[in-house]
Structure 1
Amino acid sequence: TRKKNPPLSHPVVRTHPVSGRKSLFVSDGFTTRINELEPAESKAILKLLFAHATRPEFTIRWRWQENDVAFWDNRVTQHYAVDDYRPQRRVMHRATILGDVPF
């Protein structure tokens, strides 16, 4: 429910707490608007950023092999699972570390 999970506000550009590098912190599935902009401008810029983040030169396609382990830093990575392994079964164990506050 919305009461248990109220909307949160995060910066569009965040600083990685370890490397100090700046990165985009937007997701097509979660980012709804840029608070500092008018709605139409926010929508246009987010559309551009979502398209930019999914360009092929910024993506990796993992070709799973037996005993592979993959992990990524969600602070600077977007994940999109592709359902292309059928009829095989995908077995996965996920560990999530409590994140830091974006700045």
Structure 2
Amino acid sequence: MPQYVLGHHLKGEWKRLALMSDLLDPMHRRHIESFGVVKPGARTLEVGCGNGSISAWLAQRVAPDGQAVAFDLDLSLIDRRAPCLELRQGNITAGRWILATSIS
């Protein structure tokens, strides 16, 4: 499996990700909300979810019938859980992907 430049095994990595979440999540949430597509029943995917803070927020926004998927090489620092949140571990650059369009 590929290695992170800033691997989760490094001392202080949890704290660094928490600080990034505190500083950047409000801006990211506003940007995501500006599209107007994350609402109850929606399906979302966050690739490279770090500590899962945005994924957990997405799960709250799509509840109760939606789904938020958090995808990362290393899920060890995800400290957030939500009923609509699915955690997936893997390398997004490996393998073959099929693109599809969902019509609601």
Q: Choose between structure 1 and 2 for higher RCO, CA contacts under 8 A separated by at least 6 residues.
A: 1
When the two structures are superposed, what TM-score results if normalisation uses the length of structure 2? 0.33
Higher normalized helix content (fraction of residues): 2
TM-score (norm 1): 0.33
Structure of higher CA gyration radius: 1
Q: Which structure has more strand as a fraction of its residues? A: 2
